[in-house]
Amino acid sequence: MAAPLVLRLYIAGNSASSRRAQQNLERLRASVSSKGWDVEIIDVLTRPDLADRAGIIATPTLSYEDGPRSRRIVGDLSDTKRILEFMGIEGDHA
């Protein structure tokens, strides 16, 4: 992978689902070689402007920006396998 992958996780403060999503994303990064990943966590409550610009209407939302393509998923990211598939990273995790 040449250009770094930009992942943006939009969360809402300290809510349970926000915390779970962050933990799951951390686990995901640890389980795969995530050298080329750039993760940005955006709290919708403190940066409503950024959320607005990106058209975020629900959290947690993981947005995956790969060049011109932008895709996003909603949920607490607990389904690791499908998330990796979604990002096009096939099972080099254990």
**Which residues sit at the interface with another protein, rule CB under 8 A?**
12-18, 44-45, 48, 51, 55-63, 70-79, 82-83, 86
8 A C-beta contact, residue 83 and residue 75: no
CB of 55 to another protein, least distance (A): 6
Nearer to another protein, 5 or 44 (CB): 44
Nearer to another protein, 15 or 35 (CB): 15
Nearer to another protein, 41 or 75 (CB): 75
State whether residue 85 is helix, strand or coil: helix
Nearest alpha-carbon partner for 41 in 70, 19, 58: 19
- Tokens, residue 69: 């393509």
d(CA 9, CA 54): 12
CB of 85 to another protein, least distance (A): 11
